[in-house]
Amino acid sequence: MPKKARAYWKGYLRLSLVSIGVEIYNAVESKSEISFRQIHKPSGRRVNYEKIVQGIGKIDTADIVKGYEVDTDTYVTLDPEEIDALKLESKKTIDLVQFVDTSDIDYRYFERPYFIAPADKLAGEGYVVIREALRKTNKVGLAQVTIGGREWLVAIAAMNDGLVMEMLRYADELRDPADFFDEVPNAKPDKEMVDLAVQLITKKSSKFAPEKFEDHYQTALHELVQAKLKGRKIIAPSEEARPKGANVVDLMEALKKSVGQSGKPAAAKPKSPKSKKRA
């Protein structure tokens, strides 16, 4: 069966002395969303931008190269050929160098998922062996791969009949939680209140079903655009009309009321029917 997308990267997946040809495909897709353009309100025309250099004026795109600022207004410029000449093994090979439990990876490291597929029938046998080995050991393999102008740390795991690769952030990209949690009280919370909160969470727990949720903001934007097309005048609600959260004075009482009101897990709001495709 032909693949439904174009390969994002082609190269080799290596486990010690075993190398197989693979192709990487994007595991997610951006759905049609409403995107805005900057418009000149008096004329209703779109605002355009030109590439201009101070003291020179408008320039050609062909004359633009990448530059790294080493000092104020001082740059080292690099041609595409010079960047391509960088000899990194990870440009063509994903070398599985370490294996860890999935639970060992802080979820903040995960960036974006990709599917790894065998490049051809010849690579299929080695591909299946690696997939089954990862599944039986319940491990993910760590490697590095150069994609999109940078070398990524990646985690590779078995998924259904194939392999999924998750791009990871590097450790120095994560902020220190202590910088943001310094105002969290150090006192131990009341046990009864914690038990009530646990009871509330348990009552609202269910299996993860992302298909039950939708992007309500995009839906509302779509409806707003359709209303404007029909000539409706949109009036923003007054501050008095906006819903306001209750001022909870007694936390214990609020928890007790919440537990009493919660029965079965709350169902997600049903998706609104869309008669027209989003703009």
Series of mean pLDDT values for 10-residue runs along the chain (279 residues): 74 92 90 78 86 86 84 83 74 92 92 94 93 95 90 94 96 92 88 90 85 78 79 68 55 84 54 44
227 Cβ contact list (under 8 Å, min separation 6):
234
Instruction: Write down the pLDDT at residue 226.
Output: 81
CB 149 within 8 A of CB 140: no
Q: What architecture is the 9-28+86-172 domain classified under in CATH?
A: Beta Barrel (2.40)
Whole-prediction pTM: 0.71
Q: Kind and range of the H or E element at 199?
A: helix 191-203
Going along the chain, which residue ranges are E strands?
A: 9-15, 18-26, 39-40, 45-46, 52-53, 57-58, 66-71, 74-78, 93-95, 98-101, 110-118, 139-147, 150-159, 162-168
CATH 2.40.290.10 segments of the chain: 9-28+86-172
Instruction: Write down the pLDDT at residue 254.
Output: 84
Instruction: Write down the pLDDT at residue 276.
Output: 42
138: left (phi over 0), alpha (psi -120 to 50) or beta: left
Please give the Cα distance from 115 to 123 (Å, whole number). 15
